[in-house]
């Protein structure tokens, strides 16, 4: 039932519903940081520390399909984000903020 309500699409539109787009962006961050479900609280904490503007930018870029919206390839992004998570003075939130500024 929940998955049918969260189809990720708005009626009559090709845009994703905001909740579904944010969930997809978070799933992609989980993959990029090579995280397991045990690290989900760390990823969610980093995400929640972001301001609305940074989240909006990251959702837009992390959900772009490369066909209708331009995309970018960052070959070292997984290493960058993992490194940010491992350095306490940096953390995932600051790493994501830097990414949203690019």
The string of pLDDT tens digits covering residues 65-101 is 888 888 888 889 999 999 999 999 999 999 999 999 9
pTM across the whole model: 0.75
pLDDT of residue 12: 42
Q: How far is CA 30 from CA 15, 62, 67, 75, in A?
A: 22, 12, 23, 16
How confident is the model over 20-79, as pLDDT tens digits? Answer: 999 999 999 999 999 988 999 999 999 999 999 999 999 999 999 888 888 888 889 999
**Whether the predicted pLDDT of 4 surpasses 50:** no
């Amino acid at each position: 039932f929940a998955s049918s309500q969260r189809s990720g699409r708005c009626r009559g539109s090709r845009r994703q519903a905001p909740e579904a787009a944010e969930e997809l962006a978070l799933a992609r961050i989980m993959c990029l940081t090579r995280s397991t479900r045990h690290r989900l609280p760390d990823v969610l904490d980093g995400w929640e520390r972001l301001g609305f503007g940074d989240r909006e930018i990251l959702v837009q870029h992390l959900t772009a399909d490369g066909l209708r919206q331009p995309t970018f390839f960052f070959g070292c992004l997984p290493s960058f984000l993992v490194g940010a998570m491992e350095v306490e003075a940096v953390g995932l939130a600051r790493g994501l903020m830097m990414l949203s500024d690019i």
